[in-house]
């Protein structure tokens, strides 16, 4: 029998960050100076936050990240057998990593009947009852913020009924404990435990998620949680009960200082809407400038932010990147998505950021929205070309369970909760008011060509500067290839460097992960054989 510590006693917890292959097949070629494996990507800040909380409370925590090629599932299983943790927590973000989480949970359960298993993260939160039903081998599905929840759970694993935010089974009957009140005192938690994984992160994802575009030691930070807007495709407002909460400026500045001491050079905020509260931004920028922190950072926010007069102060405090959710160049599409922003607001924000000296201004766009016409799509690419954006991404709109769009699709009979809740859908695959996938892809390829041509002709200096930045990460050959790629048509693969830097959409890996979400439960375990995480080879 596995040991369960009495309440208040230290326990050993394993936390595993599950990724789908497109987000972990990214080891960089060289090791860092400190001997750690270097990985291109975002660090798993969810489990790092929880590890710090557990350790401060006196517990032992061992983390694994599937980005690490040296810890495939079988190594994690060996460690579980060897170290016998009291609890193994599996953390994953989204629909596409859920199949991998299920597979690993089942492997662990098959190897040991007694170890306690927990799931957490956005997807698990929004689908807790269904997840528990589909994965009876997982003891606890944990909903919402994990900090206090995990502390409570490790103390009371034998009495989960008393732990708010947990979905579990009592004699075969699923019990959905009440939600936890939203934690507003985020300053109470320690800084994430960034040093315990044997990995160093560098970010180099120029076009997909450009972040800060630096080859420095990289990490992420979370200074606020949530977003109160009603965009129909987004589940962040649901995860955060429509609220926005933040850490105090001093706490954020202290973390910057701490990171500077640890040798980090680039930080990206994973906040959903960093630009929400001007006074807080002003205080953070002042703190960074006053304390002489030189870390370059990037953030995301809405174009209607009332903090735009602070863009110069942000640039002075080494904010290098701002990413805006532009979504579309058609007001009709923006309104259909309930984005609650105008094209004029987009132009104002992008121009203000560039005028303030923000080096990289990025636009997130979606294509394939309900009701979008070919003309709307063309308008989007023309708009992207005209805007002073440095980088942009045009992703296909997807629908996730829990969002208002999902609810609409249920009412329209396009999906059902019972059959489809765990499936990854591009809207165009199920919604007849969307353009077909083929038309979307052809129009997108043509639109990208127009954007590149326009940028080179109208913003040659801005484009040259950006290319110079790319050249710090990539060979000239690959940069040239990147430029001509939209003109080559389909069927050309990525260069090795592109694969590493994720400069282009990883269509194959993305499709593979998406397809796995549609596989029937019985076939899922066999799919493990196809997965690069199954073994280190």
Task: Kindly state whether residue 272 participates in binding ligand SF4, applying the rule CB under 6 A.
Answer: yes
CB closer to ligand B12, 150 vs 267: 150
Distance in Å, CB of 418 to ligand SF4, minimum: 26
Nearest one of 241, 311, 239, 238 to 274, comparing CA atoms: 311
CB closer to ligand B12, 50 vs 379: 50
CB closer to ligand B12, 143 vs 354: 143
Nearest one of 57, 49, 331 to 194, comparing CA atoms: 49
x/- mask, ligand SF4, residues 290-319, rule CB under 6 A, reads ------------x-----------------
CB closer to ligand SF4, 253 vs 384: 384
Task: Kindly state whether residue 405 participates in binding ligand SF4, applying the rule CB under 6 A.
Answer: no
User: Helices 249-262 and 278-291 sit at what angle, rounded to 10 degrees?
Assistant: 40
The length of the chain is 537
**Distance (Å, whole) CA 438 – CA 433:** 14
CB closer to ligand B12, 86 vs 385: 86
CB closer to ligand SF4, 180 vs 273: 273
User: Residue 321 binds what, of ligand SF4, ligand B12, none (CB under 5 to 8 Å, by partner type)?
Assistant: none
Label the pairing between strands 60-65 and 224-225.
unpaired
Residue numbers at the binding site for ligand B12 (CB under 6 A) = 19-20, 23, 42, 44-46, 49-50, 89, 91, 93-97, 118, 120-123, 126, 142, 145-147, 149-150, 209, 222, 234-236, 270, 272, 400
CB closer to ligand B12, 92 vs 383: 92
From residue 6, alpha-carbon distances to 1, 84, 153 in Å are: 15, 16, 12
What's the N-to-C CA distance of the chain in angstroms? 33
User: Residue 325 binds what, of ligand B12, ligand SF4, none (CB under 5 to 8 Å, by partner type)?
Assistant: ligand SF4
Written as six digits, the tokens of 327 are 């979504």
Q: What is the DSSP string of 422-445?
A: T--EEHHHH-TTSPPHHHHHHHHH
User: Residue 506 binds what, of ligand SF4, ligand B12, none (CB under 5 to 8 Å, by partner type)?
Assistant: none
Distance in Å, CB of 121 to ligand B12, minimum: 4
Distance in Å, CB of 272 to ligand B12, minimum: 5
Choose the binding region for ligand SF4 from 214-222, 231-239, 351-359, 409-417 (rule: CB under 6 A).
231-239
User: Residue 270 binds what, of ligand SF4, ligand B12, none (CB under 5 to 8 Å, by partner type)?
Assistant: ligand B12
- Residues numbered 315 to 354 that lie near ligand SF4 (CB under 6 A) are 325
517: CB partners within 8 A, 6+ apart: 95, 96, 98, 99, 422, 423, 424
Distance in Å, CB of 295 to ligand SF4, minimum: 24
354: CB partners within 8 A, 6+ apart: 361, 388
Binding residue for ligand SF4, selected from 88, 117, 150, 231, defined by CB under 6 A: 231
Q: What is the DSSP string of 206-240?
A: TTTS-TT---S-EEEE--EE------TT--HHHHT
Nearest one of 527, 530, 508 to 519, comparing CA atoms: 527
User: Residue 231 binds what, of ligand SF4, ligand B12, none (CB under 5 to 8 Å, by partner type)?
Assistant: ligand SF4
- Residues numbered 190 to 229 that lie near ligand SF4 (CB under 6 A) are 227, 229
Task: Kindly state whether residue 236 participates in binding ligand SF4, applying the rule CB under 6 A.
Answer: yes
From residue 442, alpha-carbon distances to 20, 436, 447, 468, 493 in Å are: 27, 10, 8, 29, 17
Distance in Å, CB of 234 to ligand SF4, minimum: 3
**Given CA atoms 463, 465, 469, 475 in this order, what sign does their dihedral have?**
positive
User: Residue 302 binds what, of ligand B12, ligand SF4, none (CB under 5 to 8 Å, by partner type)?
Assistant: ligand SF4
Written as six digits, the tokens of 524 are 């899922």
User: How many angstroms from the chain centroid is the CA of residue 397?
Assistant: 16
3-state secondary structure (DSSP) of residue 189: coil
User: Residue 227 binds what, of ligand SF4, ligand B12, none (CB under 5 to 8 Å, by partner type)?
Assistant: ligand SF4
- Residues numbered 160 to 189 that lie near ligand SF4 (CB under 6 A) are none
Question: Residues interacting with ligand SF4, by CB under 6 A?
Answer: 227, 229, 231, 234, 236-237, 272-273, 302, 325
């Amino acid at each position: 029998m596995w040991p369960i510590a009495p309440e208040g006693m230290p326990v050993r917890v394993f936390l595993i960050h599950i990724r789908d292959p497109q987000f972990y097949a990214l080891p960089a070629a060289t090791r860092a100076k400190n001997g750690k494996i270097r990985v291109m990507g975002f660090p798993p800040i969810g489990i790092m936050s929880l590890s710090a909380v557990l350790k401060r409370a006196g517990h032992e925590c061992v983390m694994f990240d599937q980005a690490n090629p040296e810890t495939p599932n079988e190594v994690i299983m060996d460690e579980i057998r060897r170290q016998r943790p009291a609890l193994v927590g599996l953390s994953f973000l989204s629909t596409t990593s859920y199949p991998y989480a299920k597979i690993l949970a089942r492997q662990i359960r098959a190897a040991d009947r007694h170890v306690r298993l927990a799931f957490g993260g956005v997807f698990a939160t929004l689908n807790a009852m269904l997840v528990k039903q589909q994965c009876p081998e997982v003891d606890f599905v944990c909903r919402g913020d994990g900090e206090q929840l995990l502390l409570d759970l490790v103390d009371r694993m034998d009495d989960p009924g008393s732990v708010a935010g947990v979905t579990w089974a009592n004699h075969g009957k699923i019990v959905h404990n009440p939600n936890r009140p939203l934690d507003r005192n985020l300053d109470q938690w320690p800084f994430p435990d960034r040093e315990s994984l044997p990995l160093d992160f560098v970010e180099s994802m120029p076009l997909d998620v450009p972040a800060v575009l630096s080859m420095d030691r990289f990490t992420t930070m979370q200074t606020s949680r949530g977003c109160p807007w009603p965009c129909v495709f987004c589940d962040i407002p649901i995860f955060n009960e429509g609220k926005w909460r933040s850490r105090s400026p001093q706490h954020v500045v202290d973390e910057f200082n701490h990171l500077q001491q640890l040798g980090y050079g680039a930080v990206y905020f994973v906040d959903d809407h960093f630009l929400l509260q001007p006074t807080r931004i002003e205080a953070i920028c002042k703190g960074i400038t006053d304390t002489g922190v030189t870390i370059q950072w990037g953030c995301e926010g809405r174009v209607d932010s009332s903090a735009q007069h602070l863009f110069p102060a942000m640039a002075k405090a080494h904010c290098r990147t701002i990413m805006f959710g532009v979504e579309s160049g058609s007001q009709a599409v923006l309104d259909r998505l309930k984005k609650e922003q105008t094209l004029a607001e987009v132009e104002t924000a992008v121009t203000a950021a560039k005028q303030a000296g923000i080096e990289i201004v990025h636009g997130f766009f979606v294509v394939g929205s309900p009701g979008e016409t070919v003309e709307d799509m063309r308008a989007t690419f023309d708009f992207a070309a005209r805007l002073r954006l440095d980088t942009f991404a045009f992703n296909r709109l997807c629908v996730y369970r829990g969002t208002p769009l999902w609810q609409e699709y249920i009412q329209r009979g396009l999906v059902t909760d019972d059959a489809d809740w765990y499936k990854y859908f591009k809207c165009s695959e199920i919604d007849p008011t969307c353009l077909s996938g083929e038309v979307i892809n052809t129009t997108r390829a043509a639109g990208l060509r127009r954007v590149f041509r326009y940028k080179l002709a109208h913003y040659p200096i801005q484009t040259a500067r950006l290319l110079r930045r790319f050249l710090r990460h990539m060979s000239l050959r690959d940069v040239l290839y990147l430029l001509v790629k939209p003109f080559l048509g389909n069927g050309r693969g990525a260069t090795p460097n592109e694969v590493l830097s994720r400069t282009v959409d990883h269509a194959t890996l993305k499709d593979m992960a998406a397809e796995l979400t549609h596989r029937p439960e019985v076939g899922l375990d066999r799919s493990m054989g196809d997965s690069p995480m199954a073994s280190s080879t």
